[in-house]
Amino acid sequence: MAAQASTSPVRVHATGPVALSPAEAQEFADYEQVGPAWIAKPTAHHIFAGKRYVIIFGWLDAPFSEVEKYAQYYRSNGFTVIILIGTTDDIDTVWAGKGKEKYVNEFEPLVSFLEANKLVEPTGTPKSAFSLSKLVVHALSKGGILKMMRTVNALHAKGYQLKSQALLLDSAPSATTAASWARYNTAEVKGPIVKRLSFGAAFALAFVGKQVIDMKKYPFNQAIPYTISTNNEDGNVNGARLFLYSQADTISLPSEINAHANLARDEGISVEEKVFISSGHLKHAVDFKDEYWVTVDSFLKRNVH
C-alpha cells in the first residue's frame, strides 16, 4: 500500500519541470529526470516487471514528495512509474494558444522514452490491438488532467497515441466556473462570516472576468473532454475509467464528476466510480488509504491484462 503523505516540500518551478534540492535529489535518487517527467523502476519483483507502466499526472504545483506517495503503490506492484506535475506554465501555454511545435519540443525526451519502451502506437491504431506493455494513467485533479492533455497533444503532433488500458481520475474532472474559482480560492479561509465575505468578493471578481473570457476555452475546461471521450481531434487516452471522488469535496463537486462519468458511459467507455463519504479534495488516499488502494487494485486487475 502507498505510504502516508509526507510534509517535506519539494519545489516545483512554475515555468519548468520539477527541480529538486540536493537533499531531495538524494531522497529520490532512484528517479531519473526525462524532460518534464521523473521515472523510476519497480521496487518489487513482479511477473510483468519491465512491462507494466503508469503515468501519474500530479495536481497543479504539487510537491513531488506528495505525488510520489501514489507512485509507491505502483512501484511495489511491479510498475515503472512516470511522474509529471502540472504547473502554471501549462495554463499559460494553453491560454496563449501556442501550437504543436511548443508541445513537441518540450515533451521530446519523454516521447522518445515512450517510443523506446513501446508505450505508444500510431494514431488511429484499433483499441483492441494487443500489446505486451501494460500502461495505466492516473491523473490527479485539474492540474493533472491539464498536464495529461498537453502530453497527449504532444504525442498526437508526432503521430502517436498512448497504448493505455486504464485511466484513473482522482477529484476530477470538474469545470472551472466563477463559483468553483471562488470556492477554490477561499477553501482555507476560517470562520463562517469571513468565509462568506471572502467567497462573495472572489465570486464577484470571477464573475466580472467571466464576462470577457470564454470559459469553455479556459485551460482546465479544455482538458475535460480528454477524460470522458476517446474521440478528440488532438489526442486521446484510451481504456476503462475509474472516477475516485468524494461527497464532501467542495472544489470538484461530486454531482459534476458523476455527470462527466455518465457522459463517458454514453460514449460506450467502461466506467467505474468510487465515491468516498467525507474526504476533502485530493484527500481520499489519505483519509481512506486502504479503501482507496483496494479499489485501485481491483479495478486494475479487471482492466489491465
**Range name among 17-26, 133-142, 163-172, 229-238 with the lowest pLDDT average:** 17-26
Residues 159 and 203 in one domain: no
3-state secondary structure the chain: CCCCCCCCCCCECCCCCECCCHHHHHHCCCCEEECCEEEECCCCCCCCCCCEEEEEEECCCCCHHHHHHHHHHHHCCCEEEEEEECCHHHHHHHHHCCCHHHHHHHHHHHHHHHHHCCCEEECCCCCCCCCCCEEEEEEEHHHHHHHHHHHHHHHHHCCEEECEEEEEEECCCCCCCHHHHHHHHCCCCCCHHHHHHHHHHHHHHHHHHHCCCCHHHCHHHHHCHHHHCCCCCCCCCCCEEEEEEECCCCCCCHHHHHHHHHHHHHCCCCEEEEEECCCCCCCHHHHCHHHHHHHHHHHHHHHCC
Of 305, 57, 46, the residue nearest 167 (C-alpha):
57
Would you place residue 200 in the very low, low, confident or very high pLDDT band (cuts 50, 70, 90)? Answer: very low
* pLDDT value, residue 98: 59
User: Does residue 241 form part of some domain?
Assistant: yes
Q: Which residue has the higher pLDDT, 213 or 125?
A: 125
User: Does residue 8 form part of some domain?
Assistant: no
Of 143, 145, 152, 146, the residue nearest 119 (C-alpha):
152
User: Does residue 42 form part of some domain?
Assistant: yes
User: What mean pLDDT comes out for the span 235-239?
Assistant: 94
Can you tell me which residue has the cell 468510487? 274
Q: Which residue has the higher pLDDT, 230 or 3?
A: 230
Q: CA angle, 178 as apex, 172 and 181 as ends, to 5°? A: 50
Instruction: Show the cell assigned to 27.
Output: 531522497
> Omega into 63 within 30° of 0, i.e. cis?
no
* pLDDT value, residue 97: 72
User: Does residue 267 form part of some domain?
Assistant: yes
| Overall number of domains in the chain | 2
* pLDDT value, residue 131: 65
Residues 265 and 197 in one domain: no
**How many residues appear in the chain?**
305
Residues 209 and 118 in one domain: no
Would you place residue 139 in the very low, low, confident or very high pLDDT band (cuts 50, 70, 90)? Answer: very high
* pLDDT value, residue 152: 94
Q: With 60 as the cut, is the pLDDT of residue 211 above it?
A: no
* pLDDT value, residue 13: 38
* pLDDT value, residue 243: 98
- State what percent of residues in the chain have pLDDT above 90: 61
**Range name among 34-38, 127-131, 143-147 with the lowest pLDDT average:** 127-131
Residues 142 and 285 in one domain: yes
Q: Which residue has the higher pLDDT, 178 or 114?
A: 114
Q: Which residue has the higher pLDDT, 256 or 201?
A: 256
Residues 102 and 197 in one domain: no
Residues 297 and 183 in one domain: no
Of 297, 193, 180, 192, the residue nearest 244 (C-alpha):
297
Q: Letter for the amino acid at 33?
A: Q
Strand partners, 243: 169, 273
Q: Tens of pLDDT along 34-65?
A: 999 999 999 987 777 678 999 999 999 999 99
Q: Letter for the amino acid at 225?
A: P
Q: Tens of pLDDT along 68-125?
A: 999 999 999 999 999 999 998 898 888 777 555 556 688 999 999 999 999 999 998 8
* pLDDT value, residue 179: 53
* Rounded Cα distance, 55 and 156, in Å: 17
* Rounded Cα distance, 57 and 61, in Å: 11
* Rounded Cα distance, 215 and 174, in Å: 13
Rounded CA Rg of the chain: 19
Residues 192 and 114 in one domain: no
User: Does residue 15 form part of some domain?
Assistant: no
Residues 157 and 199 in one domain: no
Residue numbers of the domain that contains 281: 22-176+222-303
Domain stop point among 168, 195, 217: 217
Would you place residue 129 in the very low, low, confident or very high pLDDT band (cuts 50, 70, 90)? Answer: low
Residues 26 and 129 in one domain: yes
Residues 277 and 237 in one domain: yes
Residues 286 and 199 in one domain: no
Q: Tens of pLDDT along 249-261?
A: 988 999 999 999 9
* pLDDT value, residue 94: 86
User: Does residue 14 form part of some domain?
Assistant: no
Residues 49 and 188 in one domain: no
Alpha carbon of 122 to those of 26, 50, 114, 163, 233: distances in Å? Answer: 38, 22, 12, 10, 14
Mean pLDDT of the chain: 82
User: What mean pLDDT comes out for the span 175-186?
Assistant: 54
